[in-house]
Amino acid sequence: MLQVQNVAKAFGTQDVLRGVSLRVSRGEVVAIIGRSGSGKSTLLRCINHLETIDSGSIIIGGEAMAQSDASGRAVYKKDAELRRICLKMGLVFQDYNLFPHYSVLKNLVMPQVMVLGRSRAQAKEKALALLEKVGLADKADEYPCNLSGGQCQRVAIARALAMDPEILCFDEPTSALDPQLTHEVLSVIRQLADEQRTMIVVTHEMNFARDVADRVIYMEDGVIVEDGPAQQVLGSERSAAVRAFVGESGY
């Protein structure tokens, strides 16, 4: 479903990703953990084309978004095709990034209409079904400024789902929320995991990573240090590096 091969990225002289390779298969839920600055968010942003990689390849559903040429430099597809390939990915942000001037319903409808060319009726039907799913059907006509953080994040998840992505990514989806609201967002993500959706979740919630993810990836200094089944990476047999990190995060 997703193949990341030997990806490197630097901001100026600072290497943020140093040869990251990773595969995600259909239906898999992968959690990425690590300290701030380990490159986990940058990796997620590269996969969603919010950052460009310097070298390596990113292949989504068999189509290369970026592929390294003979010299190793990453070459991206042209605009329209790139946008089409990127639509296979969905991303939920830490701070939601809902469109404040659109109602909740319009946040879900407009992208479907403008990007996928769905009719308004079709888009609205889909949007209402998704709002129902995240428990916010009664908020369809509200504006994001009148919702709580947890509600905003659930709208953002519904908005991402409305575009029918093949892989849904989350960039620290609960870091801006207090524990009560964190719970309501995580239970939505858990529900999606039960439906066998392919997901990549960058998170600080260790319990969530252990319980929901099929696989956990631990990153440090721009490389993947551990990659394995959740029980193995976070279980009692965990490595010294993960032990140290998990110890710091109080899990």
Partner 1 sequence: MKYFNNPEAFIRLVLSMQDGMTATLTIFALTLVFSIPLGMVIALLRMSKHRVVSAPISLYILVMRGTPLMLQLFAVYFAIPMFFGVNLDRMTATILAFSLNYAAYFAEIFRGGIMSIPVGQYEASSVLGFTPVQTFFHIVLPQVVKRVLLPVSNEVITLVKDTSLANIIAVSELFRAAKNEASRVASVEPLFVAGLFYLLMNGAVTLFFSWLNNRFAYYKD
In whole angstroms, what is the distance from residue 224 CA to residue 39 CA? 9
Helix or strand holding residue 138 (H, E): none
Q: Which is nearer to partner 1, 61 or 228 (CB)?
A: 61
Residues 42-74: b if buried by 16+ CB within 10 A, e if exposed = bbbbbbbbebebbbbbbbbeeebbbbbeeeeeb
Q: Give me the least distance between CB of 99 and partner 1, in Å please.
A: 6
Q: Kindly tell me which of 1 and 110 has the beta carbon lying closer to partner 1.
A: 110
Distance CA 101, CA 140 (A): 14
Residue with smaller CB distance to partner 1, 150 or 215:
150
- As measured in angstroms, the least distance from the Cβ of 91 to partner 1 is 5
Least distance to partner 1, CB of residue 86, Å = 7
CA dihedral sign, ordered 228, 11, 51, 56: negative
Nearest to partner 1 of 80, 121 (CB atom): 80
Backbone angles phi, psi at 100, to 5 degrees: -65, -25
Shortest reach from residue 89's CB to partner 1, in Å: 7
CB of 238 to partner 1, least distance (A): 33
- Residues 6 or more apart whose Cβ sits within 8 Å of residue 176: 94, 95, 96, 149, 153
| Nearest distance in Å: CB 241, partner 1 | 31
Q: Which residue number, 31 or 91, has a Cβ lying nearer to partner 1? A: 91
CA distance 16 to 135: 38
Pick the closest to residue 5 from 83, 91, 69, 67 (CA basis). Answer: 67
- Nearer Cβ to partner 1 (3/103): 103
Name the minimum Å distance from CB 107 to partner 1: 9
Which residue lies nearer to partner 1 by CB, 89 or 186? 89
| CA 155, 85, 164, 48 torsion-angle sign | negative
- Closest listed residue to residue 205, CA positions, set 230, 233, 178, 175: 175
Residues that bind partner 1 (CB under 8 A): 48-50, 83, 86-87, 89-91, 93, 95, 97-101, 110-111, 114-116, 143-145, 159-160, 163
